[in-house]
Amino acid sequence: MVQTPQKSITLAEFLKLPETKPASEYIDGQIIQKPMPQGKHSTIQGETVSAINSVVKPNRIARAFPELRCTFGSRSIVPDVSVFTWNRIPRNENGEIANVFQATPDWTIEILSPDQSVTKVTKNILHYLNYETQMGWLIDPKEQIVIVYIRNQQPVFLDEANSLLPVPDFASELKLTVGDLFGWLLE
């Protein structure tokens, strides 16, 4: 994680800045650049988006988005995967998906990169849960563990290959195990 040293700025000032690659986030008045995704991160991210969308998108239940900036609650964060239920997807006057999402996702998924702080990522997930996100996953490819955060409940640590990953009610048809998720790294 690269933290850009500078004075504290407002969220409005941050949102006027050009986008960076990798994305920068605005947290507590500071700009923090996310680490560049590497192979394991990228693989899990892409497969997770595909797996979720294959279940929830055809019937317009929800949609998963990779690297989508979500601005709410005085922060602007770019989770690895954001899932919005269909009726909560911001749209423009033409009914197209909006470019700006000033909303919290219904489900957020973060994939830990080698140089990323577990504490920072956990704080982001907890921030989402404080703003109506139903569930957050923290996926750690190195430890091959998924920590599931559900609003108003204790976190659940899953590291057994046959453990079924909990999902929000709207995605109940998605049946994915810890072994399935980390198995993508072998394909």
pLDDT (tens digit, 9 = 90+) per residue, 152-178?
Answer: 999 999 999 999 999 999 999 999 999
| 136 vs 119: CA distance, rounded Å | 14
CB 72 within 8 A of CB 84: no
Percent of the chain with pLDDT over 70: 96
Comparing CA positions, the residue from 71, 88, 78, 153 lying closest to residue 109 is 78
φ/ψ region of 16 (left if φ > 0, alpha if ψ in -120 to 50, else beta) reads alpha
What integer is the mean pLDDT of 107-113?
A: 96
| 133 vs 62: CA distance, rounded Å | 14
CB 69 within 8 A of CB 20: no
What's the confidence (pLDDT) of residue 6? 55
| 82 vs 108: CA distance, rounded Å | 5
What's the confidence (pLDDT) of residue 4? 47
125: pLDDT confidence band, cut at 50, 70 and 90? very high
What integer is the mean pLDDT of 109-116?
A: 92
Instruction: Indicate whether 3 pLDDT > 90.
Output: no
